[in-house]
Amino acid sequence: MRIGIILYPTYGGSGVVATELGVALAMRGHEVHFFSTSRPFRLPAFQERTYFHEVPVVGYDLFDHTPYTLTLSSTLFDAFKMYKLDVLHAHYAIPHATAAYLAREMNGGLPPVITTCHGTDITLVGAHPAYAPVVKFTLEQSNAVTAVSHDLARETRENIGYMGKTNVIYNFIDTELYKREKCVMRRDWLATADEPIILHISNFRPVKRIPDIITAFANVRNNVKAKLVLVGDGPARSNAELQVRELGLQGEVRFLGKQTGLIDLLSVGDIYLLPSNKESFGLSALEAMSCEMPVVGYDVGGLPEVVIHNETGFLHPVGDIEGLSASILQLVKDKDLRHKMAQAGRRRATEVFHINNIIPQYEKLYLDTLHETEAQCLSKASHRSLSSKSATT
Nearer to ligand GMT (CB atom), residue 59 or residue 319: 319
Ranges within 184-213 binding ligand GMT (CB under 6 A): 202-203, 207
Q: How far is the CB of 163 from ligand GMT (least distance, A)?
A: 22
What is the x/- site pattern for ligand GMT, positions 102-131, by CB under 6 A?
----------------xxx-----------
Q: Does 13 bind ligand GMT (CB under 6 A)?
A: yes
Verify binding: residue 279, ligand GMT, rule CB under 6 A: yes
- Specify the residue, 84 or 128, whose C-beta has the smaller distance to ligand GMT: 128
- The span from the CA of 235 to the CA of 130, in Å, is 22
User: Mask of contacts with ligand GMT, 138-177, x by CB under 6 A?
Assistant: ----------x----------------------x------
Using rule CB under 6 A, residue 14 touches ligand GMT: yes
Binding mask 353-392 for ligand GMT (x = CB under 6 A): ----------------------------------------
Q: Which C-beta is closer to ligand GMT: that of 26 or that of 147?
A: 147
* Residue 255: CB minimum distance to ligand GMT, A: 17
Segment contacting ligand GMT by CB under 6 A, of 7-15, 186-194, 214-222, 366-374: 7-15
196 or 304, CB closer to ligand GMT?
A: 304
The minimum distance between CB 41 and ligand GMT, in angstroms, equals 12
Residue whose CB is less far from ligand GMT, 91 or 221: 91
Beta carbon nearer to ligand GMT, 145 or 148: 148
Which of these ranges, 131-139, 156-164, 250-258, 279-287, lies near ligand GMT under the rule CB under 6 A?
A: 279-287
Count of residues making up the chain: 393
Secondary structure of the chain as H, E, C letters: CEEEEECCCCCCHHHHHHHHHHHHHHHCCCEEEEEECCCCCCCCCCCCCEEEEECCCCCCCCCCCCCHHHHHHHHHHHHHHHHCCCEEEEECHHHHHHHHHHHHHHCCCCCCEEEEECCHHHHCCCCCCCCHHHHHHHHHHCCEEEECCHHHHHHHHHHHCCCCCCEECCCCECCCCCCCCCCCCCHHHCCCCCCCEEEEECCCCHHHCHHHHHHHHHHHHCCCCCEEEEECCCCCHHHHHHHHHHCCCCCCEEEEECCCCHHHHHHHCCEEEECCCCCCCCHHHHHHHHCCCCEEEECCCCHHHHCCECCCEEEECCCCHHHHHHHHHHHHHCHHHHHHHHHHHHHHHHHHCEHHHHHHHHHHHHHHHHHHHHHHHHHHHHHHHHHHHHHHC
Compare residues 67 and 206 and give the one whose CB is closer to ligand GMT: 206
Interface pattern 67-106 for ligand GMT (x via CB under 6 A): -------------------------x--------------
Buried b (16+ CB within 10 A) or exposed e, 356-380: eebbeebeebbeebbeebeeeeeee
**Closer by beta carbon to ligand GMT, 80 or else 362:** 362
Binding site for ligand GMT (CB under 6 A): 12-14, 17, 92, 118-120, 148, 171, 202-203, 207, 276, 278-283
